[in-house]
Amino acid sequence: MTDPTVPTDRAALARYVDHTLLKPEATAADVSALVTEGAALGVFSVCVSPTFVSHAVESAGGRLAVATVCGFPSGKHASEIKAAEAARSVLDGADEVDMVIDIGAAKAGGFDLVQEDIAAVRAAVPSDKILKVIIESAALTDTEIVAACRAAEAAGADFVKTSTGFHPSGGASVHAVELMAATVGGRLGIKASGGVRTLDDAQAMIAAGATRLGLSGTGAVLAGFDEGGADEAPAGTDGY
């Protein structure tokens, strides 16, 4: 039986997508091209590095939302630095901020510190802007995933997100998305990112509970509708 929550056409799936370009060598011209492509594909937003937020906002001209990252990709920044980075991105026009938690603190069981870190960034991101929390799920145990999601919720986040797409442990998995959705789904959004490269991948993540997808190869994923499915992973532009 077909899952009624899973988009079955290009336009519907595109609205789940943060069209992403986070590779270090990206240029302003690359960001302009990302925005143009994203608008043509009908995605929800583009996600760019903090230094490109103002350029992306100008290029988008209100056609789509602009997201950025904070403490990326390691999460090993003082909370004050993360908060300042997030505040600057909002000042530059970002609609959404995807922050990385301190993975080491989570692995050590310091979820009070994780919550405080998230809360510091939340204080810098106004309530009318979206804060997503990247927990790097592939590096965590199931118990740690649950605790990280609870810390994000307690700190006032709007979303939890699987991965940076740059960690050697890997990206999103159906299991992690299911666990995150079981923990905070319905109250927080769930973003799957990292390794979502085919139409089958994207639909599986949504069926598991994802309400947003981070994709770099968006066009190739959406082309799966024209091909009756996408079994071969297209090349992404970065860890996504």
Catalytic residue numbers, as ranges:
98, 161, 191
Q: Which amino acid is at 128?
A: D
Q: Read off the amino acid at residue 177.
A: V
On the 0-12 / 13-18 / 19+ scale of CB atoms within 10 A, 165 is buried
Gap between the Cα atoms of 167 and 165, Å rounded: 6
Residue 186's CB: how many other CB atoms inside 10 A?
10
Sorted by sequence, the CB contacts under 8 Å of residue 83 that are 6+ apart come out as 120, 121, 123, 124
CA atoms within 13 A on the CB side of 147: 17
Tokens of 236: 């992404």
Which residues, other chains included, contact 155 with Cβ-Cβ below 8 Å and sequence gap of 6+?
115, 116, 118, 119, 122, 133
